[in-house]
Each structure stands twice: as structure tokens, then as C-alpha cells.
Chain A
């Protein structure tokens, strides 16, 4: 058989043991070269542009686990940012909640219908266990195993990320809908399913956004018999010294004379993890080097907040970060990265989220001096494309 190489010249005949074997091994190595897919969507716009949808993106990403802010050329976190960061709403960890309690009339009327209430089951893995989330829109999302689904008896859809046969089902119930009014057929069926068929009991992280005038939210009486703790989001601030920083130009998303978003996000991840970007010959851990073109900054502030972080708080932090550039600063950009829970059943809005080998669903704002911004949204293998 004749083989042509890249220059188009014909080479000598190759004696191959079995053509079928060759095809099989090359097919197998082709499989090995593939990685689980990940999606990164990069947008650029300006905050003052009336069509800018940054509000919507922030408010639609319901379950946020970690927020990290990096400000180059800054030695001390400014007071207003420190206040914004420590002002994140506290959340509750409630253990052993019987899930049917979430349907109680008092809870639905006083808490869910007023909006701004978030609940996510704690210590449950989205690819192994039953996960339950309550969205601020009043929707109760239950991502359950095949066994639980068949016993529960409620209507749901097979997960989009099933392999050959569905082993995971998603049941969505709108608690604020008219069909779920107290005493209706659907309400009774759901209550029966959760109380008698499969009495699910889970630990929940609960958070509620309330305006200052109404006062802080208290745990409703139907849940107060469960062991609960009030927790504050934990804040950690680091000052990084002598950091190589990539050069960014707000209007250049493609790269070339400045860094493109993908390379920038890699660098940002390395900095957040404390991985050195020097590409030293003696380092066994990493040969990563800061992308060119780069500058050196003496100091940078890296501030990280972890907990059940509500989108409204993230929004106020973003507004404060925009105001950072009201006074002249050395740096021309700063970045905010928000990570979603890896085990949440939804990523943006009600889009289903799964965990294949990684459950990343994050977004990052790079805020520039002139109020331009880059918005990068990343999702993993078992995730739809971010909006």
C-alpha cells in the first residue's frame, strides 16, 4: 500500500501486519487524545451601556460558593471593599430537614413567595446522591437517583447527561404556582410523595436576601426543631509580592499584542492557587509561565470569600469594584471570579448542571478603568452552554 507524506511524495510500500489492527489501535489512541469537553464563553462590553446584561448574568447564577477578587498594584484592600466583603449575608446550615417541611404553608407564604430565598442540600454529590435545591423563583429542583425517582412517584424528566440508560431524573415543582395551592390535587400528591413514599431527609444550606428595613431573616418555626447553625461567609485576604502580570487591553479579545481571555484565566487560576509562574528549571510542580506580554507588579491583593453567597451580595460587590476606578489608580484592570457549587443541580437559571470529572461553573468579570468589562463564563463537561 502506498502512503503519501506531507510533502505529497509517495513513499515505499509499508508492510502492515493487519490493516484492521492498525485501524483499531489508531482509533483507540484517538479516543485517548480526547478530553472531557469544557466551554468558555467570553464577552466584552461596557457597564454604562444600557444593553449590558451583567446584572442578569450575576442574578441568574444562583448558587455561588466562592468569590475571589484580585487587584494588582494595591497593597491594602480599600475600606469600602472590605465593608462590602464583610457585609455578605450570613447563611444557615440546617441539619436533617425532612423535605416535606419545605411545602408547609407558613414557609411558602412567608419565605418562598417573598422571593430572595435560596436553599441547597449540603454534602450531597450531584453524580451520586439525591440533590435538592430551592431557587429564589420558587422552584424546587430535585435531582434524584433512579431508585428514589421510581419510589417517589412524581413526574420528572430524565437527566440530559445520561450515558446509555437514565440513572438520574430531575423533578421540578413550582411552589408558587397556582396548581400548587394548599389543598390542590398536585400539592397533596407532592406532600404524600415526600412524606409517605420516600421521606427524604437532608442537610441544607439556606440563605435569604432581605432589605435592611425588614430586618434579617430568621429561620421559620417549622424548621426550628432541626439542629441549625448560623454561619458567616469566611473571608481571606492575601498580599502577593513581585507578581508577573499579563498586559490586558480592554478592546482586544483576540490576543496578539495583549493577553487573550483564555490565557488570562489560566494565569488567574495559577495565582489564586499560589502556583509560581516563573517557569523555574528547578520547580517540579509547575512549568507554567505568565503569558506574554507581561509586566511586574510589586504587590497585589487577593481576597477570597467562601460560603453560600447570594447573587445580590455579589452584585453589590461588583458595583463597589466599579467605583474603585473613580479615583486614579496604578492598575488598569482588576478581576472578580465567582465559582458556583460543583454539586448544584442548576448552573445558570434552570439549566441543568452535572458532574462528569469536574463540576466547574464559574464566571469572571475583568473590570477596566474605563468601565469596560470582559465577562468570561466557564462550564464543564456535563453542562449546557452558559447564556
Chain B
């Protein structure tokens, strides 16, 4: 299993609140946290805005409980869209480590699963899913390495939303059979976070198996992060970093063997 990650921590302008949420996440045992910037895309306004630099948040990042390394904080962008034609990949995307999309219509869901260059597709937690999940787009997304995300903070706040979260999640599991699913918090306050093993148990309520539920908080989150990194690099083959050895990417199934041989020479 990989280290635990919570890929949806709501962004606020209140720096102290965000700091306390991240400290709570580190205390609970999460090694990676992604700050979620939610943007409702307007057809006329194109710019999304640069996220604030992560290193400004803390001088010393809090150490993850039980380990000696500090917590890693990343930036994530979520686009809330209804119309597939509004999705335009701008240069702003490169400031974010993960890009997610929250589809409001069936047409957009289908387009996002089959063709959009995103890492995560969010499943509605606060309302009943306006459309049904169909097999072709869901399987298409699974093949491309796109993950479906379920947020649980809404379920903590209100009992009606709890029903929507669970029913939407179960509908998704019936189609995807527990593959390519991640569970994240969507927490705005520190009290809305829960520990990773508790979330693995919550996954059982959503219809995931034991192994799938734990993977939804660990291994699958790692896969999302790697998928996000491939967007910054050329198909994940060439990666500039201080060390001279490039890392192999899990999602990199398209690279033929000849390209890898050339890389050793570099």
C-alpha cells in the first residue's frame, strides 16, 4: 500500500483555518494533502487565476504522525461545468498538480470520461446525481486512468446529504465495481476530517471491498498524483529534476521500448 492522501481540502482565504486543517490532516496520518480551488467556468471569462504558493503557508510543515517526514501539500483545480464546449485547457493548468472536473450534465460526464485531459471526475455529494452512470463512459475513464472521487464532508454535516452521498456512491460502484475510485474529504474545517483507516471503513458502506476501500485512500490517490505529473511532463517520460535518474511512471503505458532506451543515453 502507498502512503495515505487526502486530495480534497477546501481552499479558504483564511490562512489560519487552512493551516489548522493541514495540521489536523498531518496528525491523523495523511502524508499528502491537496488544496482544492473550485472554479465555476463562465463562457466569457477564461482566466482561472494562479494558486497561492504552497511554501507560503508554513515555515515548517507539520510532521505526519508516526513518521519523520513533513506533510506534502499540493494544489488542485476543480472545474464545475455544464457544457462540454466551455472546457478549454489553458496555460493556467500547469500551476496545479491535479485537475478535476465536476460534471453537471450527462453530456459533459461522457465527454470528460472519454476525452478530457483531467485526473479526477467528482461524484455529487450534496445533491442527487442528475444523470445515471452508464457503462461505456465509466469503462472508458477507467481505461484512460481517470479516477472517480467521492467526498465525505457533506455526509458528516447533514443527514439528507449523507443519503445522497451514499446512494450516488453505490450507483457508481454498481457500474465500476470498485475500480478507479478515491475517497476524499472536501473538508472546510479541521473537525470534518477523519482518519484514513476510518475512511477505509466508510468505503465499505459505499460498496467497496476491504482491499478496494483501503486502496481508495492510498494506492489510487498515488495513481492520481502520478497521472497529474504526466501532464507536466511529456507523457511522463522526460522529467526534469535535480537527480539524473528519471522515475518510471505507473500510467505510462504508451511509451514504446525504444523511447526508454534513448532515455538512458540522456
**A→B interface (CB under 8 Å):** 24, 28, 31-32, 34, 36, 123-125, 127-129, 145-147, 150-151, 163-164, 167-168, 203, 356-357, 381
Q: How far is the CA of A347 from the CA of B247 in the complex (A)?
A: 32
Question: Is B174's CB under 8 angstroms from A167's CB?
Answer: no
In addition to A32-B204, A34-B210, A128-B3, 17 A-B residue pairs with Cβ atoms within 8 Å of each other are: A24-B174, A28-B170, A31-B209, A123-B67, A125-B67, A127-B1, A128-B1, A128-B31, A145-B2, A146-B2, A146-B250, A163-B1, A163-B219, A164-B215, A203-B68, A356-B210, A381-B210
Task: Name the residue on B nearest A25 (C-beta).
Answer: B170
Q: Within B175-227, which residues are at the interface with A (CB < 8 Å)?
A: 197, 200-201, 204-205, 207, 209-212, 214-215, 218-219
Minimum CB–CB distance for A359 against chain B, Å? 11
**B→A interface (CB under 8 Å):** 1-4, 31, 66-68, 170, 174, 197, 200-201, 204-205, 207, 209-212, 214-215, 218-219, 245, 247-248, 250
Chain A facing B: main interface SS: loop
Task: Name the residue on A nearest B222 (C-beta).
Answer: A167
Minimum CB–CB distance for A180 against chain B, Å? 25
Question: Is A128's CB under 8 angstroms from B215's CB?
Answer: no
Q: Which A residues lie within 8 Å of B31 (CB)?
A: 128
Question: Is B247's CB under 8 angstroms from A129's CB?
Answer: no
Please list the 9 inter-chain residue pairs (A to B) with the smallest Cβ-Cβ separation, ordered nearest first. Answer: A163-B211, A128-B3, A127-B1, A123-B68, A123-B67, A167-B219, A28-B207, A357-B197, A163-B215
Minimum CB–CB distance for A154 against chain B, Å? 16
Question: Is A168's CB under 8 angstroms from B174's CB?
Answer: no
Knowing A128-B218, A151-B245, A357-B201, say if A168 contacts B1 (CB, 8 Å): yes
Contact of A128 among B4, B170, B248 (CB under 8 A): B4
Minimum CB–CB distance for B128 against chain A, Å? 18
Question: Is B66's CB under 8 angstroms from A123's CB?
Answer: yes
Q: Which A residues lie within 8 Å of B204 (CB)?
A: 31-32
Minimum CB–CB distance for A361 against chain B, Å? 18
Minimum CB–CB distance for B100 against chain A, Å? 23
Query: How many residue pairs bridge A and B at CB < 8 Å?
Result: 54
Task: Name the residue on B nearest A125 (C-beta).
Answer: B66
Question: Is B67's CB under 8 angstroms from A356's CB?
Answer: no
Q: How far is the CA of A319 from the CA of B176 in the complex (A)?
A: 57
Q: How far is the CA of A124 from the CA of B1 in the complex (A)?
A: 13
Question: Is B1's CB under 8 angstroms from A147's CB?
Answer: no
Q: Which B residues lie within 8 Å of A128 (CB)?
A: 1-4, 31, 67, 218
Task: Name the residue on B nearest A96 (C-beta).
Answer: B68
Q: Which B residues lie within 8 Å of A146 (CB)?
A: 2, 250
Minimum CB–CB distance for B229 against chain A, Å? 12
Task: Name the residue on B nearest A357 (C-beta).
Answer: B197
Q: List 18 A-B contacts (CB under 8 A).
A: A28-B170, A34-B210, A36-B210, A125-B66, A125-B67, A128-B31, A129-B3, A145-B2, A163-B211, A163-B214, A163-B215, A163-B219, A164-B211, A164-B215, A167-B1, A168-B1, A203-B68, A381-B210
Q: Which B residues lie within 8 Å of A381 (CB)?
A: 210
Question: Is B200's CB under 8 angstroms from A357's CB?
Answer: yes
Of A146, A150, A163, A164, most buried by chain B (CB within 10 Å of CB) is A163
Q: How far is the CA of A31 from the CA of B4 in the complex (A)?
A: 24
Question: Is A32's CB under 8 angstroms from B4's CB?
Answer: no
Q: Which B residues lie within 8 Å of A127 (CB)?
A: 1, 218
Q: How far is the CA of A163 from the CA of B67 in the complex (A)?
A: 24
Question: Is B214's CB under 8 angstroms from A124's CB?
Answer: no
Q: Which A residues lie within 8 Å of B201 (CB)?
A: 357
Task: Name the residue on A nearest B250 (C-beta).
Answer: A146
Contact of B214 among A31, A34, A356 (CB under 8 A): A356
Minimum CB–CB distance for B185 against chain A, Å? 18
Minimum CB–CB distance for A96 against chain B, Å? 9
Of A123, A168, A381, most buried by chain B (CB within 10 Å of CB) is A123
Question: Is A150's CB under 8 angstroms from B248's CB?
Answer: yes
Minimum CB–CB distance for A380 against chain B, Å? 12
Q: Which A residues lie within 8 Å of B209 (CB)?
A: 31
Question: Is A32's CB under 8 angstroms from B67's CB?
Answer: no
Minimum CB–CB distance for B220 against chain A, Å? 10
Task: Name the residue on A nearest B208 (C-beta).
Answer: A31
Q: Which A residues lie within 8 Å of B2 (CB)?
A: 128, 145-146, 167
Minimum CB–CB distance for A132 against chain B, Å? 14
Q: How far is the CA of A28 from the CA of B170 in the complex (A)?
A: 10
Q: How far is the CA of A127 from the CA of B66 in the complex (A)?
A: 12
Q: How far is the CA of A238 from the CA of B200 in the complex (A)?
A: 36
Q: Which A residues lie within 8 Å of B210 (CB)?
A: 34, 36, 356, 381
Q: How far is the CA of A163 from the CA of B209 in the complex (A)?
A: 11
Q: Which B residues lie within 8 Å of A151 (CB)?
A: 245, 247
Minimum CB–CB distance for B24 against chain A, Å? 18
Minimum CB–CB distance for B179 against chain A, Å? 9
Q: Which A residues lie within 8 Å of B68 (CB)?
A: 123, 203
